[in-house]
Amino acid sequence: MKYQSQFHPEAFKGKVVIVTGGGSGIGRCTAHELAALGAQVVITGRKIEKLDKVVAEITEDGGRAKGLVCDIRVEEQVKATIAEVLKEFGRLDGLVNNAGGQFPAPLEAISANGFESVVRNNLQGTFLMMREAHNQWMNQHGGAIVNMTADMWGGMPGMGHSGAARAGVDNLTKTAAVEWAKAGVRVNAVAPGWIMSSGMDTYQGDFRKHVIPMLGSKVPLKRMGTESEVSSVICFLLSPGAAFVSGVTVRIDGAASLGTPIFPLVDHQNSEPYNGFHRAYIPDVFKENE
């Protein structure tokens, strides 16, 4: 089996795209879809074992992928990674800033180190990758960047550090879209809601046991999203079909970020999920609660 994308099978033929955090979750799914559409994909992360596994999957499926260890929080590593991609492949057409992470905690319990770590990972790392992709290649050749943010418009109670960082990514996206338009660089973002991704398995305790199982019921579409439903939007934003789209953040959340408590959600089963990822799997946390 191969990835069942909604796009033309050669949509990214001859293109080189970096996907940070490509060793798991949404990043892994996006790397698979881009490779299935003809791209030379470069995935980055901090653990070579995870990267090697995804590279092997993509290669087995007939795609092209390379894994590079890079901590996006470290400036010199980011510079060296972009330089290595350009040296080996001679171009950089797209960048997907997927890498990030956080942990649930109320504001009063977040230490300075904890807050700084999440901001460095989700915001500073995104900025460093954007800047180096622009400075080393895209400022002379154009390109497309897609950043990862989250549903933070109503605040993020329980994850205030991540909400602050993700809001920063949203604004950074808008700023870069204006400043770098002169170079033909488009910068957009996606804001996934509750997605059935392997990242769900990183949570423990009450959040894992009581919060995650009820998330789908709080979404107007009455379900959680799939990794493929995020990847397809990312691929569109990277594609020529989005040539006049820049500076926007696309919410992929089943309308969960909209509405009001005054308007009750109606139970239904009228939303059919899209899952084109042939190697997708259900996170363990959902198996535990079946």
Whole domain around residue 23: which residue ranges?
16-253+274-288
CATH of the domain at 61: 3.40.50.720
Indicate if the pLDDT at residue 120 is higher than 80. Answer: yes
In this structure, is residue 6 part of a structural domain? no
Number of independent structural domains in the chain: 1
- Report, in angstroms and rounded to the nearest whole number, the Rg of the chain calculated over CA atoms: 18
> What are the tens digits of pLDDT across the range 51-80?
999 999 999 999 999 999 999 999 999 999
Q: How far, in Å, CA of 185 to CA of 130, rounded?
A: 11
pTM of the model: 0.94
H helix runs in the chain, sequence order: 25-36, 48-60, 75-89, 112-119, 125-133, 139-141, 160-179, 205-206, 227-238, 284-288
> What are the tens digits of pLDDT across the range 212-249?
888 888 899 999 999 999 999 999 999 999 999 999 99
In this structure, is residue 268 part of a structural domain? no
Q: What percent of the chain has pLDDT over 90?
A: 83
pLDDT at 215: 85
Q: How far, in Å, CA of 74 to CA of 66, rounded?
A: 20
Q: What percent of the chain has pLDDT over 70?
A: 99
Q: Which residues pair with 43 in a beta bridge?
A: 19, 67
Which has more confidence, 154 or 5?
5
In this structure, is residue 86 part of a structural domain? yes
In this structure, is residue 168 part of a structural domain? yes
Indicate if the pLDDT at residue 95 is higher than 90. Answer: yes
